[in-house]
Amino acid sequence: MRYAYYPGCSLKSSAYDYERSTRAICPELGVELEEIHDWNCCGATAIPSVDPTASAVLAARNLALAEATDVNGAEAVTVAAACSSCYAMLTRALNYYREDPAMRGLIGQALAAGGRTLAGTVKVKHLLEIIVNDVGLEAVKALVRKPLSGLKVAPYYGCLIVRPKGAFDDAEQPMALDRLLAVLGAQVVPFERKTKCCGGALMTTKEKSALRLNEDLLHEASSKGADVIAVVCPMCQMNLDAYQSNVNTAYGTHYRMPVMYFTQLMGLAFGLNERRLAVGKGTVSHAAVLKRMGV
């Protein structure tokens, strides 16, 4: 299985641990990632609120480049995105292109100015979808050498991965990550706020509101006895992890909740070296998790 890999800005900077762990587990799963040549920012949440057309064009350029990626002669190129925001932006641009004739015209015009075209045959998938649906949980199970036995994990999907239409799972109460973590041997705690927003970029402009949202998430995870929150998005990871001390200051709480990428937990279950997975990079220490696993 070969995919056109779109890392996005986060995975090359603040979330390099996400990329490291992704790069570490994919070969085990038989997933080949061919990084899209000359990719650019997807537009994230900042651009669409200012200029929807520009944001669609930014994302569409990546799709056009992806279509030119060599995926061993497979019929249609599938883009693999690990960041939920990138995934949502690329999907949205593709939907615009396919379903909105006016937007299709604008995107086509803009791409043509740069000497590129988009056929619209490309598909976009989140890494979680690829692992759960394309690789399959049976195959994942076969790779587990060190089950996450006894580790209580709160599966946190964030708001973007199942929006806007719940492409690969239920938009309100998705289960893909729950099932994956269970296969890894973890004890999955029922996490009701699994798709509630972490505040995203609001943390930089309206911190108080964003902290409220994160406190809600941390409260549920810790009151359900979770040892760690598993995330699928760099933005969620940053808000829950790096701003956890701000939450504690604002609300007089004492959370010390590790927030890890699901790829890191997969790598640990596969018995990969934690340094290869960039485990320990989090602001809140991962030591308790490793200790519980006996690493």
- Residues binding another protein (CB under 8 A): 170, 172-173, 190, 192-193, 216, 219-220, 223
User: Of 250, 183, 175, 254, nearest to 222 (Cα)?
Assistant: 254
Rounded least distance, CB 245 to another protein, Å: 21
Nearer to another protein, 217 or 268 (CB): 217
Instruction: List 5's β-bridge partners, or say none.
Output: 35, 80
274: Cβ–Cβ under 8 A, 6 or more apart, which residues?
267, 268, 280, 290, 295
Rounded least distance, CB 190 to another protein, Å: 7
Rounded least distance, CB 170 to another protein, Å: 6
Rounded least distance, CB 85 to another protein, Å: 23
d(CA 2, CA 286): 32
Nearer to another protein, 55 or 244 (CB): 244
195: Cβ–Cβ under 8 A, 6 or more apart, which residues?
157, 158, 159, 162, 171, 172, 173, 174
Secondary structure element (H or E) that encloses residue 183, with its range: helix 176-183
Q: Which two tokens stand for residue 137?
A: 């949980």
Rounded least distance, CB 258 to another protein, Å: 21
Rounded least distance, CB 192 to another protein, Å: 6
Nearer to another protein, 179 or 193 (CB): 193
Nearer to another protein, 173 or 187 (CB): 173
Nearer to another protein, 148 or 221 (CB): 221
Nearer to another protein, 67 or 178 (CB): 178
Q: How many CB atoms lie within 10 A of CB 162?
A: 23
**Beta strand segments in 122-272, E:** 123-126, 152-155, 187-188, 228-231, 259-261
Rounded least distance, CB 230 to another protein, Å: 19
242 class by beta-carbon count within 10 Å (0-12 exposed, 13-18 middle, 19+ buried): middle
d(CA 230, CA 4): 25
Nearer to another protein, 22 or 195 (CB): 195
